[in-house]
Structures are given as structure tokens and as C-alpha cells.
Amino acid sequence: MPRNSSFLKVATTIVIGIAISCGVSAAPEVQPDATGSIDSELTKGREIWGVHCSSCHGSSGQGGRGKKLNNGNLSINYPDRIEIINLIQNGKGQGMPAFSSKITVEETKAVIRYVLEVLN
């Protein structure tokens, strides 16, 4: 059945293509610490990042519709963590939506740690 097998080839190529492109655009993984354990708050932060933030800020925080967040400037511009929490909860300017109805303060803290400790 030549027809069937060429269909399979095309289908396989498409599936592999999607898998590769998803892998490339996925947010960076949380790496284990010196003792080999993975910080669950950072893992939670990564999940929130993927659902709520990466579409605008880029999967690695490289920027896009939203501001670049992986260049080390965030902790310099906002030395106090509470300022970043408030900014994310309340939104900023024209483009940064308020997240107070979408994610809790705990989740906001987790996503900030992911940005500062994994993306930067």
C-alpha cells in the first residue's frame, strides 16, 4: 500500500516537526540544586510563566510584545520584591495586564522567583 505508507511518512514528519518546534520554544527547565533536589516553587513558577507570561515576554523572557525580562535589569530597577509583586498584580502602562484576578500572590511570588533565578 504505497499510498498509506507515504501518508504515514508525512504524518510522522509533521508530528516530529511539531515536537521539535515546541521543544525549542519551551521555557527553560528548572535545574536541580547542588544537592540534586528541584525547588517546587520554581517548578510552579515555570508553569505559571508558560500559561500567563511567555506569550508576551518570550519563552526565555527575551521579550516580544512584552518587555525583555532576562537581562538582569529587573532586580536592579525593582530592588524591592514587593514592587514587582504589586506591578504584576496591578498591571503596568498600556500593555501589562493586571493579574490579581488570575494568579494568587503566592503564585506571583513563584513566577517572580522563576524569572529572577532561572531566566536571569
Which residues make up the interface to ligand HEC (CB under 6 A)?
52-53, 55-57, 65-67, 69, 74, 77, 84, 87-88, 92-93, 95-97, 99, 111
Q: Which is nearer to ligand HEC, 39 or 63 (CB)?
A: 63
Q: Which is nearer to ligand HEC, 77 or 101 (CB)?
A: 77
One-letter identity of residue 77: N
The minimum distance between CB 92 and ligand HEC, in angstroms, equals 4
3-state SS track over 65-94: CCCCCCCCHHHHHCCCHHHHHHHHHHCECC
The minimum distance between CB 115 and ligand HEC, in angstroms, equals 6
Q: Which is nearer to ligand HEC, 53 or 118 (CB)?
A: 53
The minimum distance between CB 78 and ligand HEC, in angstroms, equals 7
Q: Which is nearer to ligand HEC, 3 or 65 (CB)?
A: 65
Q: Are 56 and 90 in contact (CB under 8 A)?
A: no
Q: Are 69 and 63 in contact (CB under 8 A)?
A: yes
Rounded Cα distance between 106 and 108, Å, is 5
β-bridge mates for residue 79, sequence order:
none
